[in-house]
Amino acid sequence: MARDINQVELDHIIDQFHQHNMSFDMAMMFITQDISFDKLFERFLTTPIKFYKDVFSYLYKYITDKIDKGQLDIVFRDVISKLDCYVFDKKIQVGGCVNKYGFSSLIIEKTLQYLLNDNDLNGINSFIDMMSINPNIDNKVIFDVLSNNKDLCHQYVISNIISGEYLSIEDIFRLILIRSEDLPLDDVRILIREIFFNKSMMLTFAAHVFSFYNITVDYRDNKCKVNLECKLKGTEKELIDNIRQIIIEVVWIDAELDYYDFLEDAKIKHRECKNMYMSGLYNTYINWFRSQEREDESIANFLFNGYEENLDMMQLDQENMKELSIDTMNLLYITDISIYEGYELFIKMFNLNRFLLGHYNNTFTVERHLSSIIEDEGFAVRLAIDTNFYIFLCLR
């Protein structure tokens, strides 16, 4: 059982370990006592590097013995919780000096490889969880060690990283790309869906994927030519194109359902109030909203006119649209803006920006609404009104 040792005793014992090359005893002292990582390397300038190599060999042997016994929690308590690793660097010597981060990087990498060799994905996830708990291990190290071994970038492992929010969206995306050649599309779908459970993360992810595309719109002779070009090549391009389709499926459906539900509710409210005129206008609008003609022409209408509606096709005149537009705001499609944020705000603003009801002959315009929220929710709003992002989501 560990015994508290005062500082004077500790310094004397460590001196003896170094003088007599007692690397095994040093390793056991580190395991059993409350000794910091810095304390372990306190005499690195005067101690041969072989001493530290032997210490970490013993530590690694201790770790693997505990793993074999199913005692990964003890590994965290005795070793991982004490490591410092702010940068993943496997060089144990730099400029003639011992590099303590090199030793911690190697023990992290070797332990994960040991778990991988046993196909212990639960163990890998638990070990990554342990790393994330230690404030002296930078989460960037998690990315670096996984990106150095693509076999560690298993769907189950990346899922755990997503749920724990251990890495940035950019790093999660890069881990997925690392496995672009052999990651099944079904696994990619699982990962994207898990990202989308966190709506704020989802919006950032969609914007990051969007950044890998160049979009140009050429207006000429009353025609509009749209070109969407991916910046990646080969299997990475194929993967990101599939990811884009998954994003479209989720975001587009969310936006469509949000607006459709509002329209149906508005129609029912007017019918219940015996206002058959307004109920009829909404019914006509809904018929257009669900029509194949709308699906075929919506992108072209938006790019030419700034909205998806085509009045000639809808059997509604400008006065009808003005009435619907005012009623849309009176019924509070978007209510007190303070209750919306992130993805939910994006969906509302995306719909208001692409449909005429959001700004048709109405003093309550999208632009006026933006002025009150752009400062606090600028990212979601700018993305919602970005024509290129609209194309990114609409062009199949």
CA dist 241 and 185 (Å) reads 11
Both 246 and 147 in one domain: the answer is: no
Query: What is the per-residue pLDDT across 129-183, written as a single tens digit (0 to 9) for each?
Result: 999 999 999 999 999 999 999 999 999 999 999 999 999 999 999 999 988 778 8
Confidence of residue 357 (pLDDT cuts 50, 70, 90): confident
pLDDT (tens digit per residue) in 220-269:
888 888 999 999 999 899 999 999 998 998 899 999 999 999 999 999 99
* Degrees to nearest 5, angle at CA 254 with 195 and 194: 15
- Same domain? For 245 and 134 the reply is no
How far is 72 from 115, CA to CA, in rounded Å?
A: 11
What is the average per-residue pLDDT within 65-93? 92
Structural domain that includes position 375: 241-394
Domain boundary among 152, 170, 187: 152
Please tell me whether residues 246 and 390 are part of one structural domain.
Answer: yes
- The CA radius of gyration of the chain, in Å to the nearest whole number, is 30
Q: 11 and 139, same structural domain?
A: yes
Same domain? For 15 and 148 the reply is: yes
Give me the mean pLDDT over the 87-91 stretch: 90
- Is 222 inside a domain boundary? no
Regarding whether 132 and 261 lie in a shared domain, the answer is no
Is 165 within a domain?
Answer: no
Instruction: Identify the domain boundary among 89, 117, 152.
Output: 152
Q: Look at residue 370 in the predicted model and tell me its pLDDT.
A: 58
Q: Is residue 213 part of a domain?
A: no
Largest CA distance in the chain: 96
- Residues 294, 285: contact at Cβ < 8 Å? no
Give yes or no: residues 14 and 120 share one domain.
yes
Q: Is residue 179 part of a domain?
A: no
> Which of 133, 152, 171 corresponds to the end of one domain?
152
Structure-block tokens of residue 181? 């050649």
Domain identity same for 246 and 146: no
Q: Are residues 389 and 248 in the same domain?
A: yes
In this structure, the answer to whether residues 264 and 389 fall within a common structural domain is yes
Residues 262 and 390 in one domain: yes
pLDDT: which is higher, 69 or 49: 69
230, part of any domain: no
Under 8 Å between Cβ of 290 and 256: no
The whole model's pTM is what? 0.83
Residue 2 has pLDDT above 60, yes or no: no
- Domain count along the chain: 2
Q: Helices 49-68 and 100-117 meet at what angle, rounded to 10?
A: 30
Answer yes or no: are the C-beta atoms of 350 and 382 closer than 8 Å: no
Asked if residue 168 belongs to a domain, the reply is no
pLDDT more than 70, % of the chain: 91
Residue 216 within any structural domain of the chain: no
Same domain? 143 vs 266: no
Is residue 100 situated within a structural domain?
yes
